[in-house]
């Protein structure tokens, strides 16, 4: 009973191959930047994880949440996809922040700056940590899924507002600094660097897909096992009840099927 399959093995090989190729291009083949020298090689991780986390992962989470809430498309699968995508998204955002911080250390000598993008990313990170917390609340699973779905949508509509507010804040009130932070964050990308960047986006997208599929299947397996454990417990109780001749089955079934609370 594994989450792997022929499909994911092919995907996994493709992911590994493209990641390896990206690493080779990023570290060996592509040139160092004029201004940042070798530090620019971190771009090939930072940019794709940022893009994937913000637009793909959380977009998928939101879309899946909407599909889960919409009566006509409601299905457990969407709830599981929403949760899995958010988990992978939080992983990628954490990486974005970590690699971005390291990159900042090499270019500006500081581990953190309050530039618009990093700041928005940090807020997003905490937003989705909150969503993951809601997925773990001790409550009826259906209640939990519905609340999580609504929180996902509420978080998503906040994202553009956060971006806008932080952007205005950091551009309108930028004190004069020695470093032009924006210039350093956007090195001129052309030629080999551009191809490497595009490849890195493809590679990380494949990685996201591979992680997502495995995570969704894992969640599905866990649900199935839980359901089956419940059925087994019920069956045992019935067997006991039949053996003892005591009619306690109705109460157990009512409790086990979650009742209407």
Partner 1 sequence: MVPPERATTEGEPALWRDAGLVAGKDLRVEARSRVATNQVVPFALLVLILFAFALDPDRGILGRAAPGLFWVTVLFSAVLAIQRSFAIEADDDARDALRLSGLDGAGIFLGKAAAVALQLLALEAVLAVGVAVLYGVSLRGGGLLILICLLATAGIAASGIVYGVVAAGLRVSDTLLPLLVLPVLAPVLLAATRASEAALATVPGDAWPWVRLLAVFATIYTVFGVVAFGPLLEEA
Partner 2 sequence: MTDAGYVAGGYGVTIVAIGVYVGYMWARNRTVVRLAHPPSRSGHTSAGYGPQKRDQNDDGSPPGAGDRIP
Residues within the interface to partner 2 (CB under 8 A): 1-3, 5, 7, 23, 27, 37-39, 41-42, 45, 49, 74-77, 80, 88, 91, 94-95, 98-99, 102-103, 105-106, 207, 211, 213-218, 220-222, 224-225, 227-229, 232, 235-236, 239
For partner 1, how many residues bind (rule: CB under 8 A)?
34
For residue 151, state whether it binds partner 1 (rule: CB under 8 A).
Answer: yes
For residue 217, state whether it binds partner 1 (rule: CB under 8 A).
Answer: no
State the maximum Cα–Cα separation within the chain, in Å, rounded to a whole number: 85
Measured from the CB of residue 6, what is the shortest distance to partner 2 in angstroms? Answer: 11
CB 151 within 8 A of CB 130: yes
In sequence order, the 6+-apart residues with CB closer than 8 A to the CB of 216 are 77, 80, 81, 84
Residue 103 or 170 with smaller CB distance to partner 2 = 103
Burial (CB < 10 A; 0-12, 13-18, 19+), residue 16, is middle
Residue 6 or 72 with smaller CB distance to partner 1 = 72
25's contact among partner 1, partner 2, none, with CB below 5 to 8 A by partner kind, is none
Q: Structure tokens of 237?
A: 């109780």
For residue 155, state whether it binds partner 1 (rule: CB under 8 A).
Answer: yes
In sequence order, the 6+-apart residues with CB closer than 8 A to the CB of 75 are 67, 68
CB 135 within 8 A of CB 148: yes
162's contact among partner 1, partner 2, none, with CB below 5 to 8 A by partner kind, is partner 1
How far, in Å, CA of 82 to CA of 94, rounded? 18
DSSP, collapsed to helix, strand or coil, labels residue 138 as: coil
Measured from the CB of residue 70, what is the shortest distance to partner 1 in angstroms? Answer: 12
Residue 155 or 193 with smaller CB distance to partner 1 = 155
CB 127 within 8 A of CB 53: no
56-75 mask for partner 1 (x: CB under 8 A)?
-------------x------
How far, in Å, CA of 206 to CA of 131, rounded? 24
Q: Under the rule (CB under 8 A), what is the footprint of partner 1? A: 69, 123, 126-127, 129-130, 133-134, 137-140, 142-143, 146-147, 150-151, 153-155, 157-158, 161-162, 164-166, 168-169, 172-173, 260-261
């Amino acid at each position: 009973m594994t989450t792997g399959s022929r499909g994911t093995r092919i995907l996994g090989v493709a992911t590994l191959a493209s990641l390896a190729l990206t690493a080779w291009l990023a570290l060996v083949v592509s040139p160092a930047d004029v201004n940042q020298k070798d530090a620019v090689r971190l771009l090939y991780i930072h940019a794709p994880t940022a893009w994937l986390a913000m637009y793909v992962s959380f977009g998928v989470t939101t879309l899946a949440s909407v599909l889960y809430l919409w009566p006509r498309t409601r299905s457990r699968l969407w709830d599981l996809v929403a949760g899995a995508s958010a988990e992978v998204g939080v992983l990628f955002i954490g990486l974005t922040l970590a690699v971005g911080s390291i990159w900042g250390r090499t270019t500006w000598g500081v581990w953190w700056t309050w530039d618009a993008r990093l700041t928005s990313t940090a807020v997003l990170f905490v937003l989705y940590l909150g969503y993951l917390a809601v997925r773990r609340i001790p409550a009826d699973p259906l209640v939990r899924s519905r609340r999580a779905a609504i929180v996902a949508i509420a978080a998503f509509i906040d994202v553009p507002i956060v971006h806008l507010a932080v952007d205005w804040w950091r551009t309108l009130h930028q004190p004069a600094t020695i470093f032009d932070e924006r210039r350093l964050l956007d090195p001129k990308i052309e030629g080999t660097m551009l191809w490497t960047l595009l490849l890195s986006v493809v590679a990380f997208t494949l990685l996201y897909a591979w992680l997502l599929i495995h995570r969704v299947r894992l969640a599905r397996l866990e649900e199935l096992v839980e359901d089956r454990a419940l059925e087994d417990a019920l069956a045992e109780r019935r067997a006991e009840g039949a053996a003892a001749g005591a009619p306690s089955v109705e109460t157990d079934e009512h409790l086990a099927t979650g009742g209407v609370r």
